[in-house]
Structure 1
Amino acid sequence: MGRASKEQSELTAARILDVAINAFGSRGFTAVGLEDVAAAAEVTRGAVYHHFQSKSGLFRAVHAETQRRVGQAVDEATTGIDDPWEALEVGCHAFLRASVQTDRRQIMLIDAPAVLGWDVWRAQDADNSGRLLLAVLSELDDAGLLDVASVPAANALLTGAMNEAALWIAASETPAQSTDDAWRTLRKIVRSLRA
């Protein structure tokens, strides 16, 4: 494949992915057909199959990109923060805010566990925001600033708490108030880990 053809192929795949993120995020996995994605991306259904092999393959890529964007939001929020405790708190708060956006909630927290399974979900989470959480917890532990029995256990528990908080916020009739409540409670949990 020539350079121009490869670039065009990559642009087509990116366009399909963007359209699919919007479709799956707004309507959910079961309500979206590959024909819908192809039409909105102005490509053939064959082009969608060429790049993603199947609807579940496309959704796997959508979930990976959504997880990447949440991880990017956490990374951007913590860039330039030298104090690891502040980075932990700011990162946890950024994760909550990024995860409860309607499209991300639908993809990451509602559809992905059912469509992809928990193993894939956990692996993609660990590659993104989970990697950042583990890094800051390890930094705190290495500096003797963390009072936990196990860094991996603390990582798993905080990850679970934040994902459950995101689901709770998403189901709330007052999401802004619920986000504030969840964050204030999560911050107390995080601060209780300080040595």
Structure 2
Amino acid sequence: ILVVLVGAQLMVNERIREKFEHLATHDDLTGVINRRAILRRIDQEHQRWLNEDRGYALMLLDLDYFKRINDTYGHQVGDQTLIRVTKALTQGLRNTDSLGRYGGEEFIALLPATDMSAALSLAERVRKTVEQMPRNGDKPTCTVSIGLTVVQGGETTPEAVLLRADRALYKAKDAGRNQVALAQ
């Protein structure tokens, strides 16, 4: 009986540990991985690139005029919009990609083993998926601006890669939003 009880307690402890690990690495609202977890994955992918010379791409995505949605419809609708957009982003990405909430209305998509052509095609597909989200009743429509960078050489740190994607994101916003801009 003691062996059975100890075994049962170990199983309970493992489930509790898994639950806490999930809470520590995932965004409560959207269910995707959180900022710390996506940055860790970027670090790992960058290390893989250094060791295996396998390029990757990074998308920094920002919901266009999200503050206006919150101000006009309230934070509850804003939260529902974030959830809907997250589902659309996930649908637009591949199984090998990682999506994380970077903060507020910003997301990062990590695209392993992806060249320039595939990254551009994927970013445009994601943008269109969000743009074409069905409108539910009085729910607001939403679009995203995307900054895209492809890592094939030259970047020395994951932070430099993220900075390039951030600069490209602001190019997309400055050019009118709801578009993809590639880092130069």
Task: Calculate the TM-score normalised by the size of structure 1.
Answer: 0.33
Q: Which has the higher contact order (CA 8 A, sep 6+)?
A: 2
Q: From the two aligned structures, give the one with the greater helix fraction.
A: 1
Q: Structure 2-normalised TM-score?
A: 0.34
More strand by share: 2
